[in-house]
Structure 1
Amino acid sequence: MSPVRIVESAYVGVPETAAPPPGPIRFTAMEALWVVFPVLQHVLLYEAGDDMPPFDAILQSLRSSLAATLGSFAPLAGKLVHLEETGDVGISCSASDGVRFVVAECDADIRRLAGDEEHDLRVLEALVPEVDMDRLPTAVLAVQATRFEGGVAVGLTVHHGAADGRALWTFVDAWATACRGETPAATPCFDRSLVKMPAGDELASDVLRKFAPNLPSVRTCFVCFILLLSVLMSSC
């Protein structure tokens, strides 16, 4: 299958009217465990119908609706940072934040890629933007739109500590709603004080000390991750 070619890369900023959180959003213990296994990626494939607009128009709509959606999801445009004074990890937000938006193209037919008989993993992997999450600070989210023959692909790479599958699809649904020119039904809450865990702050710090001891460099260890997950599940 034809290779995926990167055409351009730019940033979509948070609206000036959005109010970012006043300070870093510190990870809870359940979020901190994903610092060592950070990457969550998804690809959406859209086959062209008779009413699909030109790719340039699709890009304009995706960018403008993404900007509007970031007004409610501003932390996703932030940076994952190491809070040196406490040793914690959290999301730092500022008015200058933005999400990297990659534009790519591929001469292949998207219907072959989406079909049940062929799944080209090499091409699918190229439909999500690369984000280096091995060292902090790092981006929380990046997106990519790829033009195909017969359709469009939208790929997302998000740090797993910032969003699980349900949270990511909440964001995608809000983005799609804004893209249709509608108003999203719900506004997300980023108040970590609502997460109640016994000795939660101490547990989060202990998780990072044991399984990410070289912060801001992130060490990925599968065995350590499995052991950590079992410890956390037994403590809940």
Structure 2
Amino acid sequence: YVLVFVHWLGSIRRRAPVLSAHHCLLRRAMSSVRVIHASYVNVPATAAPPPGPIKLTAMEAPWVVLPELQHVLLYEGQDMPPFDDILLSLRSSLAATLGSFAPLAGKLVHLEDTGDVAIACSTSDGVRFVVAECDGDMRHLAGDEEHDVRVLERLVPGVDMGELPTPVLAVQATRFEGGVAVGVTVHHGVADGRSLWTFVEAWAAACRGEAHAVTAPSFDRSLVKLPGGEELARSLLRKYAPNVPKVCCLTKVQF
């Protein structure tokens, strides 16, 4: 299948021109996204038990106030399988991938006794999987010089990250006429762009039936040795997120 568009929504927001009210109304009339249902994909029972709480280090703690990372991929093809078959493949391969990325199925929490922020993992956790449909034209959405940011934002799942605990990851599959969009939202305090792309590559490989195509990540905090250790991370949290568990995220660029 042809990948027609892939981009960080943050980049689009920064570059997108200001649209007139009339233009925006026309865009909304032309394209709409409707959520059909949502469910959860769990870590496989056969996977290794999730590790205990993974505390954010001083390299990660300041990022809890940044907006979430959002990534959308648009695929089209004349011989694509039925949407229900695509959903089944996406869900099963996501579950298999979470076996190696179990912390992404957890929640970001505030540990009151120590003041740390950590990823809490449990066998009952899962990744929210949203199913939606869009009546817009995928080619126009990807190819227009003035990207319809408001529709693109609806192709990724919304996650309230203003207060802990909060989910680490959510995904969305949206049906188009002759295509499908896969959107991913991840907390910036847990993953940077490269980390998110590594996960997406592993998920794509699992969807193609390629086992062990991506090296499994390590979540061993003992490998990270910084001057000041955990206390440095706590001091940075007090500086950048003084009201934790409430987190005042930096606002996104508005158009």
TM-score, scaled relative to structure 2: 0.84
| One-letter identity of the residue aligned with 1:188 | P
In the TM superposition, residue 158 of structure 1 has moved relative to its aligned partner by 0.2
Equivalent position SS for 2:36: strand
* Residue among 24, 34, 39 paired with 2:63: 34
The equivalent residue for 1:124 is 152
Contact 2:127–2:170 (Cα < 8 Å) also in 1: yes
Query: Structure 1: where are the runs of 5+ without partners?
Result: 223-236
Q: Which runs of 5+ in 2 are unaligned?
A: 1-29
Q: Does 1:85 align with 2:113?
A: yes
- Root mean square deviation, CA, Å: 1.3
Deviation for aligned residue 1:21: 3.4
Structure 2 counterpart SS, 1:15: coil
- 1:50 paired with 2:117, answer no
Change (3 A) 1:201 1:38: farther
Confirm whether residue 147 of structure 1 aligns to residue 175 of structure 2.
yes
CA distance in 2 between partners of 1:146 and 1:116 (Å) = 19
Cα offsets for 1:172-202 (capped at 9, x unmatched): 0000000001113311111121122211312
The alignment covers a number of residue pairs equal to: 221
Q: Distance between the aligned counterparts of 2:83 and 2:139, measured in 1?
A: 17
Q: Deviations over 1:26-69 (max 9, x none)?
A: 0001111111114111101112x233111111011000000000
2:163 is aligned with 1:135? yes
Whole-angstrom distance in 1 between the partners of 2:190 and 2:102 = 12
**2:200 counterpart of 1:172:** yes
Of 155, 163, 166 in structure 1, the residue corresponding to residue 191 of structure 2 is 163
Question: Residue deviations 1:139-191, cap 9 Å, x none?
Answer: 00000000012211000110011111111011000000000011133111111
Q: Distance in 2 between matches of 1:103 and 1:147?
A: 8
Q: CA deviation at 1:87?
A: 0.3
CA shift, 1:20, in A, is: 3.4
Counterpart residue number, 2:246? 217
Percent identity, aligned pairs only, is 76
Quote the Cα distance in structure 2 between the aligned partners of 1:151 and 1:133.
Answer: 30
**Paired residue type of 1:174:** A
Amino acid at match of 1:58: I
CA positional deviation for 1:221: 5.2
The answer to whether the Cα contact below 8 Å between 1:76 and 1:140 also exists between their aligned partners in 2 is yes
Mapped pair 1:10 → 2:39: yes
| Distance in 2, Cα, partners of 1:92 & 1:221 | 24
d(CA) in 2 for partners of 1:149, 1:109? 7
User: Shift of the alpha carbon at 1:213?
Assistant: 1.3
